[in-house]
DNA sequence: CACCGTCTTATTTTT
DNA sequence: TAAGACGGTG
């Protein structure tokens, strides 16, 4: 996201210099209340917008960005910076700002950088990777790559055991990077055997990443912070380049992100953050909403703006949300009111098992569409874990209702995609041994990973591969990515490999074709070696299933708006979105407060915030569903309703017993006891 | 070194 | 359930 619009102000070209007409500014400010306007126009100095769900935080931030651009505050080769939480949100903001400016008849001097922390970090590393011992051809390791590297190190160091699993180590390393603790510092303060093991692995891991000319995901933020700290000149350059900084969803920033912002905006102090501590749901990833609540301690003379009017939801939905969130101790209480009508009651739905639940959801969705004329895209179904998607998906298929699963298995994480990408990465970055290990036997070449390691990655025993890689490297310099992929796929006879290896070879081949069409977009804009590089980087930063980088926004936007479908996603994925009707599936103990959170009070509070986020996505109608039984990794387990359901004030709920589907509702059920 | 069967163990959540 | 780890065989 945003990575490419650095070279591509295209999105924002409106052929006309911009005299600042009053009406233009008026246009940018219409549809805002006074508090919101205040936040938009207070462009200089630190601003904190703290507000509950649906109060227009994102809208305000978007307008603020448009306003800053319209004021000609960003001139020369400077740019405004807007950090969003997901690529999807960046896409949305870019779209909105473009429209706002276009309507106001303004053409900004420079396109803003709108993207996630990670894409911004990658951008910094683009010009400063050498400070941390990488070249600009660096690879970005995803979770799987990082894990592969850790496994290798554990074998090498002969570390392992009961608690010392690769996943646990990975998590620990991630935590350390998020908190900007380097290996030596960590090593000095370890006590438990696990920590000692982690310290040794961490040190080696960093060493190897560097050797491989690679960064993992956490590095994309942690390393820039290190660079900023160690090189004032580079920091100054970036401070100057980005004189205005805006951050959305600030409550979910971790230490390294917080530090990055602190450094970046530390000079000019033109920093505006928005957030809601009640919606902080990424603690497990190192986020700490105290960063957010302490904002005005870190920044002198912060202007604090509180928004209290909710424009999204009905009164009943807000009451439900308030009932749930008010039980949290660790929070800043906020007022939230709405002029919207009371609306439908919040439906609490009981079903026999997850299939019945799914059938109920699909059935009701169909009704809403046929009887009330809702579009599929106005409806969303949320769940706590990805595993729950399956039964829902089956029901939607059966009912023949268009749906789409947002998130889930990411496009670029598919095997076939990763295989090809590994080859491509090797072309750009020959030191990338994780990629080499990955493709050494794709297709089978009779050399195991172990053997490759013993050979110290010397490929002379497989001249054919060596030749192929050399050829590809040469080609990469002069031919577009698309052609390179073509050549590769042919050379290794990948289609045949897929057919041999997988039952769904056709689907996988299709995915590859999709990858090709993604690559084509880059080829069209950039000359050979750069097109491939940009393509690789963007594909690794792009985490969503069906969203792409700015290169393909137009293409995908067209596709997305055509697919009018019910959205199925995890609650985490739903953050920041809104729908007319929301179903929350699996509101059960052990699932919505997830079993793993029950032991720890703070974790439980996070689950509650998760429930709050889910509830507050709904505009008009909300269904909280629970089943009596659920299939839990293999076996059928009895389930009881989520404690959060009991926190919804009874006067706004209506109980629906849907366990005997097609039958009439059982009004006499003992709903309060469940 | 590849293949196969068996066993295990994990399932939050994502950039 | 279902993917991965492990161990034994050819
Ligand atoms: N002043 C306003 N007048 C009318 N509608 C508004 C106003 N401000 C915001 N809205 C609408 O309210 C809804 C919520 O806005 P927005 O998504 O910006 O809120 P938010 O605070 O970011 O929400 P959340 O934190 O829950 O994601 C949107 O549909 C937006 O268009």
* Nucleic strand C within 7 A of Cβ A527: no
Confirm whether A59 is domain-assigned: yes
Domain count, chain A: 4
Q: Protein A634 CA to nucleic acid C4 C1', in Å? A: 17
Q: What percent of chain A has pLDDT over 90?
A: 45
Residue A443 has what pLDDT?
A: 79
A446 & A485 share domain: yes
A426 & A509 share domain: yes
Enter the ipTM: 0.91
Is residue A670 over pLDDT 60? Answer: no
A47 & A69 share domain: yes
Cα of A309 vs centre of ligand 1, distance in Å, is 9
Determine the Cα angle at A611 with ends A640 and A648, to 5°. Answer: 70
Answer yes or no: are the C-beta atoms of A225 and A180 closer than 8 Å. Answer: yes
What's the domain range around A185?
Answer: 139-212
* Nucleic strand C within 7 A of Cβ A634: yes
Which bases of chain C are under 7 A from a protein CB atom? 1-2, 5-6
Q: Which residues line ligand 1 (CB under 6 A)?
A: A 31-33, 36, 51, 53-59, 276, 279, 311-312, 576, 578, 616
Q: pLDDT for A398-410, tens place per residue?
A: 888 888 888 776 7
Query: Can you tell me which atom of ligand 1 is nearest the CA of A32?
Result: 1
A516 & A471 share domain: yes
* A276 counts as catalytic: no
Q: Please, is A315 exposed, middle or buried when counting C-beta atoms within 10 Å of its C-beta (0-12, 13-18, 19+)?
A: middle
Mean pLDDT, rounded, for A112-123: 92
Q: How many residues does chain A have?
A: 674
Report which of A376, A364, A361 is spatially closest to residue A560, judged by C-alpha positions.
A376
Query: Hey, whose CA ends up nearest to atom 15 of ligand 1?
Result: A56
Question: What pTM does this model have?
Answer: 0.87
A204 & A294 share domain: no
| Residue where a domain terminates, one of A168, A187, A212 | A212
Residue A205 has what pLDDT?
A: 92
* A58 counts as catalytic: yes
Q: pLDDT for A91-101, tens place per residue?
A: 889 999 999 98
Cα of A57 vs centre of ligand 1, distance in Å, is 6
Mean pLDDT, rounded, for A381-394: 90
The answer for residues whose C-beta is within 8 angstroms of residue A354's C-beta and 6 or more apart is A388, A391, A585, A586, A627, A629, A630, A631
Q: Please, is A622 exposed, middle or buried when counting C-beta atoms within 10 Å of its C-beta (0-12, 13-18, 19+)?
A: buried
* Nucleic strand C within 7 A of Cβ A446: no
Higher pLDDT, A221 or A156: A221
A386 & A344 share domain: yes
C-alpha A296/C-alpha A272 separation (Å) is 11
Cα of A620 vs centre of ligand 1, distance in Å, is 14
A393 & A451 share domain: no
Phi, then psi, of A638 in degrees rounded to 5: -70, 150
* CATH number of the domain that residue A195 is part of: 1.10.10.160
* CATH number of the domain that residue A439 is part of: 1.10.486.10
Confirm whether A131 is domain-assigned: no
* A57 counts as catalytic: yes
A501 & A589 share domain: no
C-alpha A222/C-alpha A256 separation (Å) is 6
* CATH number of the domain that residue A572 is part of: 3.40.50.300
Confidence of residue A13 (pLDDT cuts 50, 70, 90): very low
Confidence of residue A660 (pLDDT cuts 50, 70, 90): low
Answer yes or no: are the C-beta atoms of A246 and A83 closer than 8 Å. Answer: yes
With CA of A635 and C1' of each nucleotide, the nearest comes out as C1
With CA of A383 and C1' of each nucleotide, the nearest comes out as B13
A570 & A494 share domain: no
A640 & A576 share domain: yes
A334 & A473 share domain: no
Residue A273 has what pLDDT?
A: 95
Higher pLDDT, A578 or A440: A578
Confidence of residue A320 (pLDDT cuts 50, 70, 90): very high
Report the mean per-residue pLDDT for chain A. Answer: 85
* A60 counts as catalytic: no
A37 & A113 share domain: yes
Is residue A232 over pLDDT 50? Answer: yes
C-alpha A112/C-alpha A81 separation (Å) is 6
Confirm whether A395 is domain-assigned: yes
Is residue A559 over pLDDT 60? Answer: no
Of A84, A116, A279, A629, which is the active-site residue? A279
């Amino acid at each position: 996201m945003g990575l490419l619009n650095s070279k591509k102000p295209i999105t924002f070209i409106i052929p006309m210099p911009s005299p600042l007409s009053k009406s233009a500014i008026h246009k940018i400010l219409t549809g805002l209340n006074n508090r919101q306007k205040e936040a938009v126009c207070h462009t200089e100095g630190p601003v904190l917008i703290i507000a509950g769900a649906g109060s227009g935080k994102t809208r305000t931030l978007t307008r603020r960005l448009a306003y800053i651009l319209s004021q000609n505050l960003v001139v020369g080769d400077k740019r405004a910076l807007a950090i969003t939480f997901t690529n999807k949100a960046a896409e949305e903001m870019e779209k909105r700002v473009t429209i706002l400016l276009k309507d106001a008849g303004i053409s900004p001097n420079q396109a803003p950088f709108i993207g996630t922390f990670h894409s911004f970090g990658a951008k910094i590393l683009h010009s400063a990777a050498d400070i941390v011992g990488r070249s600009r051809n660096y690879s970005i390791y995803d979770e799987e790559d990082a894990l592969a590297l850790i496994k290798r190190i554990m074998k090498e160091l002969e570390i392992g055991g009961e608690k010392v699993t690769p996943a646990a180590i990975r998590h620990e390393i991630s935590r350390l990077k998020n908190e900007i603790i380097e290996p030596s510092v960590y090593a000095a303060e370890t006590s438990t055997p696990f920590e000692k093991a982690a310290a040794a692995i961490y040190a080696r891991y960093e060493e190897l990443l560097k050797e491989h000319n690679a960064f993992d995901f956490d590095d994309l933020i942690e390393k820039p912070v290190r660079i900023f700290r160690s090189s004032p000149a580079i920091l100054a350059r970036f401070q100057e380049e980005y004189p205005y900084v805006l951050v959305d969803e600030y409550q979910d920033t971790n230490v390294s992100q917080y530090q990055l912002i602190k450094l970046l905006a530390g000079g000019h102090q033109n920093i505006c953050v928005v957030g809601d501590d009640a919606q902080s749901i990424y603690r497990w990833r190192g986020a700490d909403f105290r960063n957010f609540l302490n904002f005005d301690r870190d920044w002198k003379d912060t202007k604090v703006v509180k928004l209290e009017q909710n424009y999204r939801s009905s009164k009943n939905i807000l009451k439900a949300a308030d009932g749930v969130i008010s039980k949290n101790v660790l929070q800043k209480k906020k007022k939230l009111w709405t002029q919207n009508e009371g609306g439908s009651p919040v439906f609490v739905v009981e079903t026999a098992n997850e299939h019945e639940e799914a059938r109920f959801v699909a059935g009701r969705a169909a009704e809403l569409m046929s009887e009330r004329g809702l579009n599929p895209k106005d409806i969303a179904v949320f769940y706590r874990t990805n595993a729950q998607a399956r039964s829902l998906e089956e029901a939607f298929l059966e009912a023949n209702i268009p749906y789409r699963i947002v998130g889930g298995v990411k496009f670029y994480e598919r095997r076939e995609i990763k295989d090809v990408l590994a080859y491509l990465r090797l072309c750009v970055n020959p030191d990338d041994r994780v990629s080499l290990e990955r493709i050494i036997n794709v297709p089978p070449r009779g050399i195991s990973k172990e053997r490759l390691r013993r050979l110290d990655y010397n490929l002379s025993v497989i001249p054919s591969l060596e030749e192929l890689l050399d050829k590809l490297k040469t080609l990469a310099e002069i031919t577009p990515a698309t052609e390179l992929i073509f050549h590769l796929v042919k050379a290794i006879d990948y289609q045949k490999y897929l057919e041999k290896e997988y039952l769904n070879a056709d689907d996988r081949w299709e995915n590859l074709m999709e990858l090709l069409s993604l690559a084509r977009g880059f080829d069209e804009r950039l000359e050979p070696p750069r097109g491939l590089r940009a393509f690789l980087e963007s594909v690794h930063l792009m985490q969503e299933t069906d969203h792409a980088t700015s290169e393909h926004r137009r293409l995908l936007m067209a596709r997305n708006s055509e697919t009018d479908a019910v959205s199925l996603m995890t609650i985490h994925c739903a953050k920041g979105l809104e729908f007319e009707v929301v179903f929350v599936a699996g509101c059960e103990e052990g699932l919505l407060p997830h079993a793993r959170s029950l032991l720890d009070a703070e974790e439980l509070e996070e689950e509650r915030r998760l429930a709050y986020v889910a509830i507050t996505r709904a505009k008009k109608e909300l269904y909280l569903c629970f089943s009596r039984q659920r299939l839990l990794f293999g076996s059928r387990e009895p389930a009881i309703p989520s404690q959060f359901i009991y926190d919804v004030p009874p006067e706004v709920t209506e109980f629906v017993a849907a366990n005997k589907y097609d039958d009439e509702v059982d009004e006499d059920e003992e709903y309060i006891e469940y």
